Structure 1
Amino acid sequence: MNLRRLKYFVKIVDIGSLTQAAEVLHIAQPALSQQVATLEGELDQQLLIRTKRGVTPTDAGKILYTHARTILRQCEQAQMAVSNVGQTLSGKVAIGLAPGTAASSITMPLLQAVRAELPDVLVYLHEHSGSSLNDSVLNGQLDMAVLYERSPTAGINSQPLLKEDLYLVGTRDCPGQVVELSAVAEMDLFLPRDYSAVRKRVDEALALRRLTAKIVGEIESVSTLTAAIASGMGVTVLPESAARSLAGTANGWMARITTPSMNLPLSLNVSARMPLSPQAQAVKEILMSLVTRPSLENRELMLVS
């Protein structure tokens, strides 16, 4: 194996087409196919499945893809680290954010701080679901991710940041400033799919009290969820920061869930296998300083000791 073939292989998997990958890489398709064949010969494994719609990795190809991204990322970081010796930090830092997290409130302060302190560093912000963000951290597409975590993930180092209480959000028949979980179970609920941290926490609390939720829809999109709640068709459960945002947009109310009170820990996740680049470490330190500022504490978010 060599780095060039690994780079070609990763690009093919990312694009899903030999023809389009050849165009992006500026090489002839037969030559690219030969590079893949050589790689398959070296590993004695079929790496790609060719179909009329393009190419997809085999199980062996998926394993190689993960390792290849890590290897290429490490090579890139090594080059940057050497180039940055005695120089101003530069390069790109990719950060993932779970939708509706408290971290979204520090996006602009983070960009402003990085621009002021690290003018040659480009910050790339990517918003997606928690499980997808962890995968992107593991394969090197993201340097770090801020998301709600309830259980350890292999290959991920997770640093606690904050805890957020869960709130009920709606636009009709406000129950008051607090609402018991037993009352929530009787309402028409819009919740995310069962792999989300919020859904897992709600399902867990309901199961412990032998309650069954009236789930009328499973919605991932923030805009669609906002429209559904604004229409009055039902209510939803969200962490405080996301609840405030949705309630404000939908002109609705929010009530803290009690009996039991529920919260979710917000974490900063990085790869346990790859060290952060100097510029990513610098951005991480800025992010940590912003999260722990008093302005966030005043929003009644509890700092994790």
Structure 2
Amino acid sequence: MELRQLRYFVAIAEHGAFSKAADKVFVAQSALSHQLAQLEDELGVQLLLRTRRGVELTEPGRVFLAHAISILRQTEDARSSVRSALGEPSGKVVFGIPHSVSNALALPLLQAVRQRLPKVELELTEELTGNLIPQLRTGVLNLAVLFDDGHLDEFTTLALLSERLSLIGSTQSPALRVAKSITLKKALALPLILPADPHGVRPTIEAAARKRAYPPPHVVADISSISILRTTLLAGMGHTLLPVMPLRADLDAGTLKAIPVVLPTLQRVVSLCASKHIPISTAATAVAQLTHQLVHDLCKEGAWVDASPIEGNTTGFTIAGRTAKT
């Protein structure tokens, strides 16, 4: 198996056609087909199907694609780390962010990387947390922000902040019109619109209900998209339990209202994660360090509302021979 075969296979999968892939990798289409055939012979499976619409991945092809992307990315990370070992960090870093964190972190992180790490190419991908985990596990992502629900042992983690959850809904909701806060038990009994299990805050909410022997949340709709969730809340179809940042614009405009959940307070821990088994590049190390400091600053400045930085983290988020500064 050769790296060029992996590059060719990924190009075909991404472009859905041999002709477009051949142009992308600058080889003849016949050479592309020959290398793919050799790769399939070595693996003993068919990776691609030719159809009238182009090329489609087989099930083994979908499995192999994640590994091929990971291998190629690690190869490039190794090159970048060696080149920048004695100088400024450089190279590409693929960073996964959940939908409910993107509004708070994405733009400030892009701006900070551009300003402080000019030779680093940051690629942000916004996904459901349940989708980020397998991508981080296989190396498709270098870093990802995940919610620590006690099941992140397979990753190296650095706790960034603790974020309070609120009950959010239409300003016309009777439960929100006058109250300044609401107990968890009462909130769980309201018609709720929550991310589908196991995404986002859903595990945190259900664990809190089980711990106190409360009935499970009264979920009227499973919606994992922030934009769709927003429209359903504005339409008065129910409430949600979330931090305020994903819906801050509507809350500031007065079209939605939020009140804190109490007895107990609901919180989620936001952590920065990396694979324990895949070496991480110098560039990713620098981005991890920058992210930790940036989140701390956003919390202290009040830009990340209802969030508190987790201080004194000395657990040792060690990557590429360095430890993220705390």
Equivalent residues in 2 for 1:271-286 (5 A)?
Answer: 271-286=275-290
Q: Return 239-248 or 114-123, whichever deviates more.
A: 239-248
Gaps of 5+ in 1: none
Q: How does 1:129-278 map to 2 (within 5 A)?
A: 129-153=128-152, 156-171=155-170, 172=172, 173=174, 174=176, 176-208=179-211, 209-242=213-246, 244-248=248-252, 251-278=255-282
Query: Tell me, which stretches of 5 or more residues in structure 2 are unaligned?
Result: 314-326
Change (3 A) 1:55 1:300: closer
CA deviation digits over 1:20-60, x for unaligned, max 9?
A: 4334334344432221211122233333344455321333x
For the 8 Å contact 1:169–1:235, the answer to whether it is kept is yes
Taking the aligned partners of 2:63 and 2:256, their CA distance within structure 1 comes to 47
CA offsets per residue over residues 246-268 of structure 1, 9 Å max, x none?
52356221111123322111010
Checking the alignment, whether the CA contact within 8 Å between 1:243 and 1:254 is kept in structure 2 is: no
User: Aligned in 2, Cα 1:85/1:252: closer, same or farther, shift over 3 Å?
Assistant: closer
Residues 270, 245 of structure 1: alpha-carbon distance in 2 compared, 3 angstrom cutoff: farther
Which residue of structure 2 lines up, in the alignment, with residue 302 of structure 1? 308
Q: Percentage identity across aligned positions?
A: 32
Structure 2 counterpart of 1:180, one-letter code: T
Residues 265, 246 of structure 1: CA spacing in aligned structure 2 closer, same or farther, 3 A cutoff?
A: farther
- Secondary structure at 1:141 match in 2: coil
Contact 1:164 1:239 in 2 (8 A): yes
In the alignment, the residues of structure 1 paired with residue 264 and residue 50 of structure 2 have an alpha-carbon distance, to the nearest angstrom, of 53
For 1:248 and 1:85, locate their aligned partners in 2 and report how far apart those are by CA, in whole Å: 46
Q: How far is the alpha carbon of 1:300 from its aligned partner? A: 4.3
Q: Partner of 1:164: helix, strand, or coil?
A: strand
Instruction: Give deviations 1:160-183, integer Å, cap 9, x for gaps.
Output: 111212210012221522112232
For normalisation by structure 2, the TM-score amounts to: 0.81
CA–CA separation in structure 1 for the residues paired with 2:64 and 2:165 = 40
C-alpha distance in 1 between matches for 2:191 and 2:278: 44
Taking only aligned residues, the RMSD between alpha carbons, in angstroms, comes to: 2.8
- The aligned length equals 303
Quick check: 2:168–2:258 contact (8 Å CA) kept in 1?
yes
* Shift of residue 144, structure 1, vs aligned partner: 1.0
Task: Show CA shifts across 1:210-243 (max 9, x none).
Answer: 4243322222222222122122222111024335
The separation in 1 between residues aligned to 2:85 and 2:39, in whole angstroms, is: 35
AA aligned to 1:303 is: P
Name the structure 2 match of 1:34: 34
Question: Is the contact made by 1:230 and 1:250 (CA closer than 8 Å) also made in structure 2?
Answer: no
Amino acid of the structure 2 residue aligned with 1:177 = K
